[in-house]
Amino acid sequence: MDIWHAARATWAANAEPLLGKLGGRPASLVIKRRYNFLVRPAVGIAITGMRGTGKSFLHQALRQRFQLGQPVLEGESADYERDRFVTATGGGKRHVELVVVPGQKDSEQGRRTRDRYFANGNAPTGVVHVVSWGFSKIWDEDLQRVAIAESAALPATDPRAMAHLPELVEQARAHNLRGELDDLRQTRSWLESSWESRSGPLWLVIVLAMPDLLHRNLPDPAAARAADAATLAAVGGHYLPSADPGRDSEFAREVRALVNFVGENRFGARVAMMPVISFRKPFTVGGVAIPSHGDDELVATLMSRFSNRIGVFCDGG
């Protein structure tokens, strides 16, 4: 069974709204505010990803704490975030416990998260792993300067390169893409050790955060769509395993190894990659800003599709 063929095909469909093909917006996952603490959570969800990818914003958007047009107050999460809620899906109600894993996994907060949610027989049923195509926020200004000084821009022959962007931005993206790989390796270690001690079905959603930053603002709309389509194809090729394992990127190799460790049969068709815009903000580095694109309709469409997919996977579908 090649679960990656389906994941690659659905990525192309999931990315269509970014090319102007909004289609119909599916009903969003219904999240109930009330939670019965006497009921053991039926589903555990971990939101993972490197520092600065927007995991906290994604959590808040999923919980519908953001309203369209509401100003976003940026700030780095001081600790891991926990949440409990009830989802109303086609299969009935599901009690869900969610944790947002700190990007700094070696910190005290990171160790507490690992001990509580990834050890002693505890393990998430579902994982939402957030990536950014290199547009993660570098919170520390000193680290930002070091990252730029020590990182060369991706060569034009690299499929991840966005040669039209300023060199400063490409240096920051190169730094962040390396960080994504390092973070995934740590995340894989946590998940393998926790999943090894548990049985039952699992699911994985790779979320491309801030996909609106990938848009090429060209005078010719057809040329812009073609450029965006090529970028989105490169995104899928980087983050998802290919038909030929020998052509996997380093990132995709780690994803494949994670799934193979516990067995594809435990995932079935419950693997996907989806774009989500939790908030619209420019990417800034060294005084250079890459503007955000997309309107409220695009934001709502992507979030509806994502939340609906979470509901289906929580149902075991």
Confidence at residue 300, expressed as pLDDT on a 0 to 100 scale: 87
Query: Would you list the domain boundaries of the chain?
Result: 3-314
Output the six-digit token pair for 72: 């976003």
Q: What's the 3-state SS for 11-40?
A: HHHHCHHHHCCCCCCCCCCEEECCCCCCCC
Give the pLDDT confidence of 150-179 residue by residue, as tens digits: 889 999 999 999 999 999 999 999 999 999
Across 259-271, average pLDDT:
94
Residue 78 has pLDDT above 50, yes or no: no
Residue pLDDT, tens place only, 141-150: 888 888 888 8
For residues 269 and 204, the answer to whether their CB atoms sit within 8 Å is no
The pLDDT of residue 223 is above 80: yes
Query: Looking at 96-100, 277-281, 283-287, 313-317, which range is the least confident one?
Result: 313-317
- Which of 245-249, 255-259, 284-288 comes out lowest in average pLDDT? 284-288
Quickly name the fold that domain 3-314 has. Rossmann fold (3.40.50)
Query: Half-sphere exposure (CA, 13 Å, Cβ side) for 274?
Result: 23
Q: What angle do CA 64, 202, 108 make, to 5 degrees?
A: 65
Global pTM reads 0.91
Q: Are the C-beta atoms of 27 and 308 separated by less than 8 Å? A: yes
- Beta strand segments in the chain, E: 30-32, 43-49, 81-89, 92-100, 126-131, 203-209, 271-276, 283-285, 288-290
Confidence of residue 91 (pLDDT cuts 50, 70, 90): low
Q: What is the Cβ-side half-sphere exposure of residue 12, based on CA atoms within 13 angstroms?
A: 8
Segment 51-61 mean pLDDT: 89
